Amino acid sequence: MKKINLRGVGTVVALLLLTGLAQASFAQKKKGADKTTPGPASASSEQRAADVDASSYIIGPEDVLDINVWKEPDNSKTVPVRPDGKISLPLLNDVTAAGLTPMQLQGVLTEGLKKFISEPQVTVIVTQVNSRRVYVLGEVTRTGALPMLPNMTVLQALSAAGGLSQYAKTNGIYVLRTENGHQATLPFNYKDVVRGKRPEQNILLKPGDTIVVP
């Protein structure tokens, strides 16, 4: 009967165990990285709210506001702006918020609460930006509404929509914009803009703009 080399068998087993542990550790790290590292397209409305300037941002419908009245927890609320542009608060009931900056709304609420509270101190923070959206229709990878980031251009919006499809008419793209009750059509020649020939067509978008890619 041949003798079994126990030392050799032990070495092989040890190597197999070390390899298994290393693979398990790598898989766990990769899983954790995938779970905690979002891509650039996954920015939430809460993250975008960090860019809001309280003195210049115009509140719109569907935005979410954190209203804090110092030492008055019953009158401090997190409220959405309704489609009619108003918010509902204790004591004041319906207050128009859309069209105002957070600082202007603070002043309106402070004045209103003076009837009920001595020297009220009010802060207004936009916690979710939902009113600033643009829309992309037609021959793009992903149609629909897009969150409008600060200083977003037509080219950036098309990129956020996944780019043009192979059937897109690059010289027939246009932006629909409604101002003062009138709709304007703004041309956008994709190839020319990309080549730097018509930079003026790569306009800054406004909330509610619709980009049409035929």
Domain enclosing residue 81, as ranges? 46-128
What pLDDT, on a 0 to 100 scale, did the predictor assign at position 37? 36
**For residues 157, 162, 164 and 167, what is the CA-based torsion angle, rounded to 10 degrees?**
-140
pLDDT (0 to 100) of residue 10: 52
For residue 157, which amino acid is it? A
Say if 8 falls within a structural domain.
no
Average pLDDT of adjacent 10-residue blocks, the chain of 214 residues: 50 48 49 40 53 85 95 95 95 95 97 96 94 94 91 96 96 94 95 95 95 98
At residue 29, the pLDDT reads: 46
Q: What is the pLDDT of residue 46?
A: 54
- Do residues 148 and 108 both lie within one domain? no
Domain for residue 73, yes or no?
A: yes
Q: Are 105 and 152 part of one and the same domain?
A: no
Which H or E element spans position 189? none
- The string of pLDDT tens digits covering residues 12-21 is 444 444 455 4
* Statement to judge: residues 124 and 152 lie in one domain: no
Q: Examine residue 26 and state whether it is found in any structural domain, yes or no.
A: no
Cα(212)–Cα(183) distance, integer angstroms: 14
| Pairing state between β 210-213 and 133-138 | parallel
Q: What is the pLDDT of residue 9?
A: 47
- Do 137 and 103 share a domain, yes or no? no
pTM assigned to the model? 0.61
Number of structural domains found in the chain: 2
Is residue 153 within 8 A of residue 159, CB to CB? The reply is no
**Final residue before a domain boundary, out of 103, 128, 153:** 128
Residues 118 and 146 in one domain: no
- In the prediction, which pLDDT does 8 show? 52
Determine contact, residues 85/99, Cβ cutoff 8 Å. Answer: yes
Q: How far apart are CA 156 and CA 164, in angstroms?
A: 12
CA 105 to CA 52: how far, in whole Å? 14
Nearest to 142 by CA among 156, 167, 159, 166: 159
Q: Is residue 17 part of a domain?
A: no
Find tokens 């898989």 and name the residue.
Answer: 27
77, 99, 128 — which closes off a domain? 128
Distance CA 135, CA 208 (A): 7
Rounded to 5 degrees, what are φ and ψ at 202?
Answer: -85, 70
Last residue within a domain, chosen from 97, 128, 159: 128
Other Cβ atoms less than 10 A from the Cβ of 204: the count is 12
Classify residue 140: in a domain, yes or no. Answer: yes
User: Given this model, what pLDDT does residue 32 score?
Assistant: 46
For residue 92, the domain's CATH number is 3.30.1950.10
Burial classification of residue 85, based on how many CB atoms lie within 10 Å of its CB (0-12 exposed, 13-18 middle, 19 or more buried): middle
Residue 21 located in a structural domain: no
Strand-pair partners of 77: 67
Picking from 167, 138, 129, 111, the residue whose alpha carbon sits closest to that of residue 44 is 129
